[in-house]
Structure 1
Amino acid sequence: MRRLIVFLCSTMIFLMLLSGCQKEGNEFTEMELPEPIKVELVVPEGEAIAVSDRVQLEAVVTQQNEYIDDADDVTFEISLEGSIGLEVATTYEGEGKYTAVYQFPVEGIYKVTSHVTARGMHSMPSKQVEVTEK
């Protein structure tokens, strides 16, 4: 029994010494993180929007000043103040521009949020739009 204990202790000491003798000069390789995507949300601002007007919403998506034409998902979430949002699909128009046309059903203050997923990143800028009766 005593031999077994001595053998196990010797083996553990040997393994600890072996694990401590690793390659010297642990080199740190710096990893470059990709530039984040940028989304410019374009909605009518300062413009009178009436109920049932057809309004174009745009999201221009870039990364390192280059247009992204291969976004995984681009949608607009439109919600009337205090209510649950409605998602609207977009179409790609070229030069990083994703668009949708929407008619606001009732007057009020709406929050328009673009949800953009591209190149492993997500961005969701928002703007407010005021809609009035005609």
Structure 2
Amino acid sequence: VGISWKDAVSYAKWAGKRLPREVEWEKAARGADGREYPWGNIQPDSMKAVYNQDPNTGAPAPVGNRKEGVSPYGCYDMAGNVWEWCEDWYEEAKFRVVRGGSWLNHHYILRSAYRSCSYPEGKDNNVGFRCAKDA
């Protein structure tokens, strides 16, 4: 967390990987059946996702902390915890796509189809990333 889009790209490249494309991120979260949340179509609870925390006292949880929130492809934290940078532009030359919602958001923002954006140079404590690799 607290990493800019450019720094996330640089790290992924160093690791021999890249940021996921938005369509890849959504597929990893929704699975083949197009579920609303990574675990299914039932709204989140505290066993599945880290969300709706107080900005003064809350914080992201350790990665993989919500075992019941795993996606069909075995990906953790795709709903809540921290937004995740994607490779795509949201608005050409202005914002980059972030997906997944964060520990600060309400449950409806955690839906797998929900998309948002952030300034690529932003380093917020509720934005992070995951790497992807071509098969």
Structure number with greater CO (CA < 8 Å, separation at least 6) is 2
Bigger-Rg structure (1/2): 1
> Do both share a fold (TM > 0.5)?
no
TM range (shorter): under 0.3
Q: Please identify which structure carries the higher helix content.
A: 2
